[in-house]
Amino acid sequence: MTPRPASGRAAAADRLARADRSRTFPPLPARPGARGLFAESWWGSAWLDALETTALDSARLARGRTYARDGHVDTINVTPGRIVATVRGSRPRPYSAEIRLRTLTDQEWDGLLDSIAADPGRLTDLLAKKLPHALAEDEVRLLPGPGDLVPRCSCPDHGRPCKHAAALCFQVARLLDADPFVLLLMRGRGERELLDDLSRRNTAHTARETHAHSHAAATSRPPRHRRGPEAGGGTRDAVTAPSAQADPGVAPGEPEPPGAPPVGGVPAKAALADRPRPPLPPPLPAPARPGSPPALPDGDTLPFDPAALEFLAADAAARAHACVSAAASVGHGAGRPPVHSPFPALPPWEDAIRLAATAHPTAGLTSATRALYRDLAAATGRTTTDVARSVAAWRQGGPEGLALLDTPWDPPAGDFDRARSALHAADLPSLRPRHNHLTDADRGIQLRFGHDNRWYPYESEPGTEDWWPTGPADPDPVGALTTLLAR
């Protein structure tokens, strides 16, 4: 029988649960010259104690501390039982450092959460981003002990830990200082998940206490008497028991017993409905230039090429910067005109050429660009020469430059016809027209007229007709040809 697909709400809840069990922290700022204890909280210090008591080489720990202080640890990702970050060493590519820690079992979580829910002080401390001392003394050991932290690293150093893994441990201590829920995530559960579970347990615990208190109050209250009719028309004292429908131990019209929980209330939504909301702050200004993604470690064991990922990340940063800059240029407010994307949708081939041209803006061929062209040619069924020529055309004029590379067209009378007269008046070589091309095959020079009314210079080995885009486009044919002849 085919299982029924999860509903939209269930799928959304599953995505939130998975997101809650993974947290990513940007690189922490460097602290050059800092001295003294690296961690500021007692639980951060306990984390480092677990590292230092099992380290086999204090010199590696010292170098790791220096790496951490100097900001060599990049983005840190924390998931249950695992902490990963790239750490920059002496080589161009960083190393991938990792710390493993055992997660708690479901039975251990039940005991830990019950102890927190039963003690309001512990819950208050956690909500204030403090780790209660009592949690470290419970049967369930939350903080790591000697040997609990298992370091790994992609560097050739087999020390336990190496300086890169040690640097990661020192930076994690700073994360723990700011938020002890990071430690709980390492042990297996996310912050939102824990707070929801604690809320349920706290409600159940409060209900049990309320029931016990109400039952005690009902049994300790003396019976109440009333006058009731009898068969002979007289009256007698009748003993009444508390009604099952009424609040136990409280007669109608009588005050609540001391210490009874309050009843009724106002929904939070109604209480906050008339609360004034401050206006949103203005958007931050766009940076002067897009940022550069961090270098990734070698990906021998990864299912993707780290260089390709860096390549795509740099392009995403450039596109985002262009979009933010375009939006900021038209102002803010409800009456501003719609902002069109500076990156229109392109066919896969054109977008691949755009990526190759913008990621490596220099014209020279390096080992990295040759490898890129080979991969791109294999993926698109072209030759590396086709890729290199198309990249040169994109650098020359973007989409229009690429269109002119393979598609001639017949321009209307006007600028194209006047160009030959302008070249003759400037005493420049006479070029033969064909479609939108002006060519001197013997000299190996050519100008192509674009739909944007600009002239695109090309050159070739004389007599080979192997034309390559050369130099920038120019709205003046004289300027374009003069630049081409000066090469």
Q: Give 239's strand partners.
A: 225
Q: What is the pLDDT of residue 214?
A: 66
State phi, psi for 119 to the nearest 5 degrees: -125, 100
Query: Which residues in 279-305 are b (16+ Cβ under 10 Å) and which e?
Result: eeeeeeebeeebeeeeebbebeeeeee
Neighbouring C-beta atoms of residue 207, cutoff 10 Å: 11
Residues forming beta bridges with residue 25, ordered by sequence position: 76
Cα 179 to its chain centre, rounded Å, is 19
Is residue 224 within a helix (H) or strand (E), and if so which, with residue range?
strand 224-229
d(Cα 369, Cα 363) in Å, to the nearest integer? 10
Q: What residues form DSSP beta bridges with 433?
A: 438
In 10 A of CB 392, how many CB atoms? 19
Cis amide linkage into residue 146, ω under 30° from 0 = no
Which residue stretches of the chain have pLDDT < 70? 1-8, 13, 33-36, 211-265, 299-302, 330-342, 359-365
β-strands 150-153, 224-229 pairing = unpaired
In this prediction, residue 333 carries a pLDDT of: 54
Q: CA-to-CA distance for 119 and 150, rounded, in angstroms?
A: 33
Q: How many CB atoms lie within 10 A of CB 236?
A: 11
CB of 63 within 8 A of CB of 161? no
Q: Which residues contact 202 (CB under 8 A, 6 or more apart)?
A: 117, 123
Going from the C-alpha of 237 to that of each of 146, 215, 229, 243, 244, the distances in angstroms are: 74, 25, 9, 18, 21
CB of 76 closer than 8 Å to CB of 25:
yes
The count of other CB atoms within 10 Å of the CB of residue 436 is 19
Helix (H, G, I), strand (E, B) or coil at 141: coil
Distance CA 224, CA 401 (A): 98
Helix/strand/coil percent split, the chain, to 5: 45, 10, 45
DSSP string, 395-423: HHHHHHHHHHHH----PPSSHHHHHHHHH
For residue 377, what are its two tokens?
């040619």
User: Can you give the pLDDT at residue 239?
Assistant: 44
Would you say 216 and 209 are in contact if contact means Cβ atoms under 8 Å apart? no
CA distance 83 to 171: 11
Distance CA 190, CA 80 (A): 8
DSSP 8-class letter at 388: H
Query: What does DSSP assign to residue 472?
Result: -
- First CA to last CA across the chain, in angstroms? 73
Quickly count: other Cβ atoms within 10 Å of residue 42's Cβ. Answer: 14
Q: Is 100 helix (H, G, I), strand (E, B) or coil?
A: strand
Predicted local distance difference test score (pLDDT) of residue 243? 43
Nearest-CA neighbor of 446 among 466, 426, 427, 424?
Answer: 466
52, 60 contact by CB (below 8 A): no
* 151 phi and psi angles, rounded to 5 deg: -85, 150
* pLDDT digit string, tens, across residues 297-343: 776 666 777 777 887 888 888 888 888 888 777 665 555 566 566 67
**pLDDT reported for residue 241:** 44
Peptide bond into 32 cis (omega under 30): no
CA dist., res. 87 & res. 76, Å (int): 10
Q: Strand, helix or coil at 32?
A: coil
- List, edge to edge, every strand of the sheet that includes 432-434: 432-434, 437-440, 445-449, 455-459, 468-469
Backbone torsions φ then ψ of 185, nearest 5 degrees:
-65, -40
